[in-house]
Amino acid sequence: MRTIVATDLDRTLIYSAAALALDMPDDDAPRLLTVEVHESRPQSYVTETAGGLIAELAAHPDAFFVPTTTRTRKQYRRINFPGPVPRYAICANGGQLLVDGRTDYDWNASVRAALAAECAPLAEVRDHLRRAAGRDWLLKEREAEGLFTYLVVERDLMPDTWPKELADWAGPRGWTVSLQGRKLYAVPRPLTKSAAVAEIARRTGADTVLAAGDSLLDADLLLAADLGWRPGHGELAAAGWQAPHVTALAGQGVRCGEEILRALLRHASAGPAR
């Protein structure tokens, strides 16, 4: 029996300094391990305990540890986890599949064909975002891998109603909207992490999928899994999102990453979920 352990990265397993949420005296804070460096500066962290759990999960004989992220391939490759390099990784919210670190171009081509058939073009969505976003709160506008787009915004200045207004415009065009921290994502509806995980399950013959994530872009992944976990912070927690087979954890911040990893390891060899 083989298990896929598909987990989101940012604010699920790894945390920026701003997202650590260490609500405790400094002398009680956990020791941290840097897992990402960008432009010669530490960028993302896990606790040392979580680093050991990741290494154990990556070396598990009955499980495939699959990092599953909205990051681009370039952004993902900045991450250096302890333990063996995962054989599979999912980037660009399911649009890019890496096998032994190399891009599976056939998978990417099939994804792009589906988007072209079902969704408004990326250029149309980017143009709308540029025109509709307020200049006083828009910091950056970016596209990712030619598949989706996102804005970096000043949350305190952005009108609370704007994400819903954008979602109402994007929905009929086949796009979804997700607000995560200072980033507001516009993503084609067929571009999903769950579709890429299903492809890995087909290739490996895995009979169980375990998943973890914190954002709206992780909802399809959690719903498609046999068992799932979400932290007590993030977009899903704020919305009170639930599913019968998904455990809503109370923990928040970097320590919740440990809690998620322990749960994934505990179930990795347990056979098909019931």
pLDDT in single tens digits along all 274 residues of the chain: 799 999 999 999 999 998 898 776 787 889 999 999 999 999 999 999 999 999 999 999 999 999 999 999 999 999 999 999 999 999 999 999 999 999 999 999 999 999 999 999 999 999 999 999 999 999 999 999 999 999 999 999 999 999 999 999 999 999 999 998 889 999 999 999 999 999 999 999 999 999 999 999 999 999 999 999 999 999 999 999 999 999 999 999 999 999 999 999 999 976 555 4
For residue range 10-29, list pLDDT tens digits in order: 999 999 998 898 776 787 88
Check if the beta carbon of residue 154 is closer than 8 Å to that of residue 182: yes
Beta bridge partners of 248: 230
Cα–Cα distance, 157 to 164 (Å, whole number): 16
Under DSSP, the state recorded for 82 is S
- Please report the pLDDT score of residue 112 as a whole number: 97
Element (H, E) at 41: strand 41-47
What confidence score (pLDDT) does residue 126 get? 96
The Cβ of residue 138 has, within 10 Å, a number of other Cβ atoms equal to 18
217, 9 contact by CB (below 8 A): no
Q: Residue 100 and residue 81: Cα distance in Å, rounded?
A: 15
pLDDT, residue 269, reads 72
Q: Are 221 and 192 in contact (CB under 8 A)?
A: yes
E-assigned strands of 92-134? Answer: 96-99, 102-103
Q: Identify the pLDDT of residue 271.
A: 55
**Distances in whole angstroms, Cα of residue 167 to Cα of each of 129, 150, 155, 157, 179:** 11, 13, 17, 19, 11
Instruction: Give the bridge partners for 99, in sequence order.
Output: 88, 102
* Full-model pTM: 0.93
C-alpha distance from residue 12 to each of 32, 61, 232 (Å): 15, 23, 10
Quick one: how far is CA 171 from the chain centroid?
Answer: 21
Provide the total of helices (H) and of strands (E) in the chain, helices listed first. Answer: 9, 14
